[in-house]
Amino acid sequence: MSAHVFEFSSMGCPCALHLETDDEELARRARAAVLAETDRLDRKYSHYRDDSLIARLCADAGKVVDVDEETANLLDFAAELHRQSGGLFDITAGRLTRLWDARAGRVPDAGEIAAALRVTGWHRVEWRRPRLRLPLRGMHLDLGGIVKEYAADRCAELCRAAGANAGVVDLGGDLALIGPHRDGTRWVVGIKAPRASGRAAARIDLPRGGLATSGDYERALIVDGRRYSHIVDPRSGRPVAGFASVSVVADTCLVAGAAATLAMLLGVERGGEYLSELGLPHLCVDGDGDVSGDIAN
């Protein structure tokens, strides 16, 4: 029984496809499908590319645009998350996210934050499937928190459709299960410890669906020794002071990712309550490195 590990880079992060199969042709097909799908979704939804669909939608701000079914489904999902989080989860916070991006290398001033806030707010967007209108120029959509997780699920589906039934898709730490090991045992995966690269905070076995981790360790801005999370509160314009990372296991990586992102946005106390109420296995690491959660369940 051959274990194939195929490493590649996509969506701005290191990715891997783990497959167990004796069929070389199947492994080749699965690899090709995963590469093609991550590339497709990256081209379509990356908010770092000028030629992505997202970029074009933002350039068309003010006009009514008809979006395709896949985009419509993602926007519906984002709209629902916005509603469920009381406005915290907001895909129009792209301008704000860019301000606080690690690559900018500096803390933005109050004027810049105010300007970004003026063009932020999903409640301002006119969205009636399939018609989208971003009313303000400079409004910026950022589907981070949805797309990578969606891509992981899609890749897993494509691998299954190609005939694979044992493997895991890993897109920068967001995992989607293709199927358990051939011998029936579960895949054991490591959840990275935030702020201590290379070390795993926990090793868990993945029983189903997907595992997603939302955390500030890889993309945080560090200035003068202070760490600013890249997860920004769209109402205040400032990074959330909450968990350092949250990992959630759910039936799909998408749902796991949404739950993890929402828990990060809600801060330590409300985030913890939310995760308890949700009832999904989860792991939280707070600013002091303390670990909580019942992910082993």
Partner 1 sequence: MSAAKRPSPSLTLLLAASAALGGQKSVRADETGSTQSVGYRFNVYDEDSFSGQPVIGSPERYHVDSQQLALNTGIGDRNTLTVDATHEVMSGSSPWYVVPGPDNKPIQVLSGATIRDHRSAVQAALTHDAGANDTTSVNASYSAERDYHAAAVGAEHATPLDPALTLAYGGSFSHDLIRPTDAELYDRIERAQKNTLSAFGGLTWVLNRSAVVESGVQINYQNGYLSDPYKLVTVGDDQLPDTRPDRRTEGAWLVRYRYAVTADAALHADTRVAMNSWGQHSLALEFSWYQRLGGDWQLVPGLRYYAQDSARFYAPFFAENADAYFSSDYRLGAFGAIAANLNVRKRFGHWELTAGAERYHSATSYALGSSGVPDPAVVSYTRIYAGLDFHFD
Position 95 contacts partner 1 (CB under 8 A):
no
Choice between 41 and 57, CB closer to partner 1: 41
Position 88 contacts partner 1 (CB under 8 A):
no
Spell out, one character per residue from 174 to 213, where the chain touches partner 1: x when CB under 8 A holds, - when not: -----------------------------------x----
* Contact pick of 18, 44, 98, 154 for partner 1 (by CB under 8 A): 154
Smallest separation, CB 295 to partner 1 (Å): 12
**3-state DSSP helix/strand/coil % of the chain, to nearest 5:** 35, 25, 40
Position 9 contacts partner 1 (CB under 8 A):
no
Cis peptide before 130 (omega within 30 of 0): yes
The distance between the two most distant Cα atoms of the chain, rounded to a whole number of Å, is 59
* Contact pick of 38, 92, 120, 252 for partner 1 (by CB under 8 A): 252
CB atoms within 10 A of CB 33: 19
Burial of 239 (0-12, 13-18, 19+ CB in 10 A): buried
Contact 69, 63 (CB under 8 A): no
Position 68 contacts partner 1 (CB under 8 A):
no
Q: Using alpha carbons only, how large is the chain's radius of gyration in Å? A: 19
Which listed range, 99-107, 132-140, 146-154, 165-173, lies at the site for partner 1 (CB under 8 A)?
146-154
Task: Please state at what angle helix 253-265 crosses helix 69-84, rounded to 10 degrees.
Answer: 40
Choice between 103 and 128, CB closer to partner 1: 128
Position 280 contacts partner 1 (CB under 8 A):
yes
DSSP assignment string, 13-51: EEEEEEEE-S-HHHHHHHHHHHHHHHHHHHHHH-TT-TT
CA angle 239/244/245 to nearest 5° reads 115
Q: Is 230 left (phi over 0), alpha (psi -120 to 50) or beta?
A: alpha
* Contact pick of 278, 286, 291, 292 for partner 1 (by CB under 8 A): 278
Smallest separation, CB 41 to partner 1 (Å): 12
Smallest separation, CB 190 to partner 1 (Å): 23
Give CA–CA dist 43/37, Å, rounded: 10
Choice between 60 and 157, CB closer to partner 1: 157
Which listed range, 37-45, 46-54, 72-80, 217-225, lies at the site for partner 1 (CB under 8 A)?
72-80
Position 77 contacts partner 1 (CB under 8 A):
yes
Count residues binding partner 1 (CB under 8 A). Answer: 26
Smallest separation, CB 75 to partner 1 (Å): 11
**Which residue ranges make up the site for partner 1 (CB under 8 A)?**
73-74, 76-77, 80-81, 84, 128-129, 150, 153-154, 157, 209, 251-252, 254-255, 258-259, 274, 277-280, 297
